[in-house]
A = this chain, B = another copy of it.
Amino acid sequence: MKDFLSPEISQQEQWQLVKQHLNYAYQNSPFYKQIFKENAIDISAIKNETDFRQIPITAKEDLQLHNLDFLAVDYTEVIDHVTTSGTLGNPVNFMLNEADLQRLTYNEYESFKIAGVTKNDVVQITTTLDRRFMAGMAYYLGLRKLGAGVIRTGSGLPGLQWDSIQRFKPKFLVAVPSFLLKLIDYARQNNIDYKNSSVKGVICIGESLLNENLEDSALRKRIRELWEIELFSTYASTEMATAFTECELHKGNHILPNLIYTEILDESGNPVENGEVGELVVTPLQVESMPLIRYATGDMLMKIEGNCNCGRSSARIGAVIGRKKQMLKIKGTSLYPQHIQEAMNALEISDYIIEAKNDEFGNDLVILKISEEVKLSPLEIQLKLRDQLQIKLEIQQISASALFQKKFPKESRKPIIFHDLRSI
């Protein structure tokens, strides 16, 4: 197993890793060799953050259009072929070699430690290890390195989840937060004493547990009212191959500065002030197969500098406020689908999707489609949302089965709540 520097590295050490990474990419990645040549970039002259910003941004489209040009190792070295989830279009292929799998292992090992998981704990993974999903395997590998016990149940199947909880008594779950609501429902319907189960904490994925002000999101509040377990927020993506994880203080997701160099940029590409929202741009460090430099995640969030009271010196990031491309403009008001989701969570409504279209003038038209089984009337929902979001949304009722089909496409690894049908 490869050795990695601990996450508690100095800025100077991180800068060394960044420089190594730039050199590696220049020597091995056809895509970056080309970028560096075209832009006449001399790596040895990059000495600080300002110099670093001379390197062009890499966009998702670059990965889509030039996928194999990003490969920096011999193709026969590739072990794991995965894809991104395809939230913003066609999934992109990603490849990992043995060293990348070791890095991924180390990354989750450190992440689970931040959430307080130890060798003596048993953890049930309720997300899939299938469907070309990087994170599922990352959890498994990290927990194995930690020496913790693992139960691979996979996604869905509340009955199997509870059977596994009762058989193996896990202390932690890895889960999508809204799936916890399904687990609670199932437990209630089947007289399972979920409040006294072995489960004490959940490493969460895919949905935000923090709101913009680093307070509990409506979803976290709702779950915690029903089931008093500790919920840990995480943030990650296939492209980053790195996870950001909440510590026990729940004040943002800790960055692993030995594995990723982060920038938060405004519309013009300049760094925003500490605590301001901007787009996260990442340079994942020590990646061999598909190194990325200044990859624009599209995720809007803020960085929190300074020591955390948990004792870690690494900066943290806040909740994803929205995806840059998903920004909605409704009669002059800008907002992200996440804002609508947060408001719907506060109303305790889960059975809905959000559709964005262009109206005849090319403006954004947003329709909230809710299940006919939702108890509040469309008008009531409209009024409550207007109070909270200052906008009036069009609301349509659709059948529960039509909603299910739109929200859970058969081959997707996660529910699709926001459907963006706008032309680009």
Contact = CB atoms under 8 A, between A and B. Distances in A.
A132 B151 contact: yes
B154 A131 contact: yes
A153 B91 CA distance: 14
Contacts of A131: 152-154, 157, 160
A80 interface: yes
A79 interface: yes
**Dominant secondary structure at the A interface:** mixed
Nearest to A137: B152
A128 interface: yes
A185 interface: no
Nearest to A131: B154
Contact of A79 (B83, B98, B144, B155): B144
B132 A79 contact: no
A122 B81 contact: yes
B149 A130 contact: no
A240 to B, nearest CB: 19
B98 A147 contact: yes
Contact of A93 (B79, B159, B160, B168): B168
A237 B155 CA distance: 23
A194 interface: no
A167 B64 CA distance: 12
Contacts of A163: 411
B168 A120 contact: no
A417 interface: no
A189 to B, nearest CB: 15
A376 to B, nearest CB: 31
Contact of A150 (B80, B125, B150, B164): B80
A416 interface: no
A131 B154 CA distance: 6
Nearest to A74: B120
A125 B148 CA distance: 25
Given A129-B129, A130-B128, A168-B93, A81 B410 contact: no
B147 A130 contact: no
Given A119-B76, A129-B152, A132-B153, A144 B101 contact: yes
Contacts of A80: 144, 149-150, 152
A206 interface: no
A167 B128 contact: no
A186 interface: no
A410 B156 CA distance: 10
Contacts of A150: 79-81
A209 to B, nearest CB: 24
A103 to B, nearest CB: 14
A81 B122 CA distance: 9
B167 A153 contact: no
A26 to B, nearest CB: 26
A160 B152 CA distance: 21
Nearest to A128: B130
Contacts of A24: none
Contacts of A167: 81, 83, 93
7 contacts: A81-B149, A98-B144, A129-B129, A129-B154, A131-B160, A132-B164, A159-B410
Q: Which 3 A-B pairs have the closest CB atoms?
A: A130-B154, A129-B129, A160-B411
Interface of A: 76-83, 93, 98, 101, 119-120, 122, 125, 128-133, 136-137, 140, 143-144, 147-155, 157, 159-160, 163-164, 167-168, 410-411
